[in-house]
A and B are shown apart, each in its own frame.
Chain A
Amino acid sequence: MTILHAGIAQGPVLLLDEPLSFWGAFDPRSGLIIDIHHPQKGQSLKGKILMMLESRGSGSAPGGLAEAIRLGTAPAGIILVQPDINLAIGAAVAEMLYGKACPVLAVTGPEFQDLSKSAYLHISHDGRVGPSLDDA
């Protein structure tokens, strides 16, 4: 497990079937996935622990996440396998500007598999993740 951006979070798990870009494929004003090609189009990310193997690259992704954090439509936390600088930077800038945390973690493939079976997850400040407060 690697902490890309530290923070405390909890929420229902939303496991994405495909990577998502935070610019163009996601609308920060509504918190919804809007990419017509994404299998989970129309789903809301708001308050979720968002799990996806990787993010889709766009240079504008940090702004998309920061804007969602500002508006309160962002995921509560993000768990990836592929470390992603854009989401880490977006979360760091939003926390500095608005004082709202959205932790971003990278875990191993097997850890990801295991965590994705949970309906609800907690993330602790030191990067522990689990279905109950004790695990996190």
Chain B
Amino acid sequence: MADGRAYQLALQLVEQAARIMGAPRLVPISFAHVDACFYTGQSHVDFVRFLLDHGAKLSVPTWTNNSVASPDDGGLRPERSDPEMVRGSHELMELYAQLGCKPTWTCAPYQLAGGPKFGDHIAVGESNAVAFYNSAVGARTNKYGDYLDVACAITGLAPFAGLHTNEGRMADIHFSCASIPENWKRQDIFFHLLGHVAGREAGRRIPVISSLPKETTTDQLKALCAASAASGGVELLHVVGVTPEAPTLHTVFKSGETLGVTTEHLKAAHHEFSAFNDGPLDAVALGTPHFSLSEFAELVKLLDGRKVKSTTYISTSRGIREMLIAKGWLKSLQDAGVIIPVDVCTYYSPKIQGLKGRVMTNAAKWAYYAPGMLGVEVCFGSLKECVESAVQGEVWRDPNLWSNP
């Protein structure tokens, strides 16, 4: 029943946030990506039920983040593993679809067509999506936590503060990669490790990174954003000559600390992420954040028709899965023994079936969270090392890769 109480609550929450942030006004937004659909307890269900019961309507196109468990994840998180969590997650997905969200169920919504553009004000909750939209797209959002994200989507408004403002988007710490050999900067593993190093040093500050190749890809920016958001809480970073707001260093950086990133920093991060470096593997986990179509293309090439020996999970979105089907890759990957869960990620509990023991990943974000959340031992490697190791059933190190002695 439409009684306006849902809108009233949403506006109250946005205004409460604006007051705490010291925002002089609210700004209209054009898009939202909500995280409150990620089940953390019954209160999440009660919140969206209240909204539905009291006439809530979304004001802007609203996409959904990952779910904890999905009816479409192929029973990887069976109900017996945590009945409340699994049932609650499924229920929450239905309710957010009823509210009118586009059911994307992905932490990498920026891989799908139709999202926000440069300069758009938006409201996003998931940490890597916040960092990517701000940094690589040049859309403007603060990191909006659960409930506030939905409140912004319902009102179509956000507090005009922080990363919505021009002043709030200036960098205050500069990382120079001038001393890093150029061939290192072509490899995906470099961006994961650089993100980890920069995030830990920057904390909540806004980094600008210089001396990276102009050809830096979207997948590499994804790695950089996800890793720095995990290790430090970075919500925006600039890459000189690559990201849209930083044609030059001086455009975004007037004053602050400058740090030189060294090969030693990167090797230390690699060492820190690897609890073991050789021997048998129980599993390989890729796709944090969700694997893109171009990453799948690279994977198909590396796999070259071979089968995997270790249990191999590659998380992605249902949107990207559609593209895999169209290309005929889904079947060939499944025939090779690769499991491709959609709508969810693998690093949090309840544990995914078979994901235990000694696990290899190419994702800094996965390496950062999984040991604490799943109690697994992690071995960190490049995509090529992960694929080759999955095929052999034990850790394979690339003799030509800089990260190996």
Contacts and interface: CB of A to CB of B under 8 A. Distances in A.
Interface residues of A, number: 35
A85 interface: yes
Nearest to A96: B9
B46 A70 contact: yes
Main secondary structure of the interface of B (DSSP, over half): helix
Interface in A95-135: 96-98
Nearest to A84: B20
B91 to A, nearest CB: 15
A33 interface: no
B148 A85 contact: yes
Interface residues of B, number: 32
A59 B149 CA distance: 9
Given A89-B17, A97-B47, A97-B50, A62 B146 contact: yes
Contacts of B36: 63
A57 interface: yes
B198 to A, nearest CB: 17
Contact of A89 (B16, B42, B127, B143): B16
Contact of A57 (B16, B47, B143, B146): B143
Given A60-B40, A63-B41, A36 B144 contact: no
Query: Which of A58, A84, A93, A98 is the most central at the interface, judged by chain B CB atoms within 10 Å of its CB?
Result: A93
A86 B145 contact: yes
A28 interface: yes
Given A89-B16, A92-B13, A96-B9, A67 B43 contact: yes
B13 A59 contact: no
Contacts of A37: 372
Contacts of B373: 24
A2 B19 CA distance: 10
B351 interface: no
Contacts of B185: none
A72 interface: no
Nearest to A35: B372
B41 A88 contact: no
B160 interface: no
B43 A60 contact: no
Given A66-B47, A83-B20, A59 B127 contact: yes
13 contacts: A2-B20, A59-B35, A62-B148, A63-B36, A64-B40, A67-B41, A85-B20, A86-B145, A88-B16, A92-B13, A92-B16, A93-B43, A97-B47
Interface of B: 9, 12-13, 16-17, 20-21, 35-36, 38, 40-44, 46-47, 50, 125-127, 143-149, 204, 233, 372-373
Interface of A: 2, 4-5, 23-24, 28, 35-37, 57-64, 66-67, 69-71, 83-86, 88-90, 92-94, 96-98
The 10 closest A-B pairs by CB, nearest first: A67-B41, A63-B40, A66-B43, A86-B145, A62-B146, A67-B43, A59-B125, A59-B145, A63-B146, A59-B35
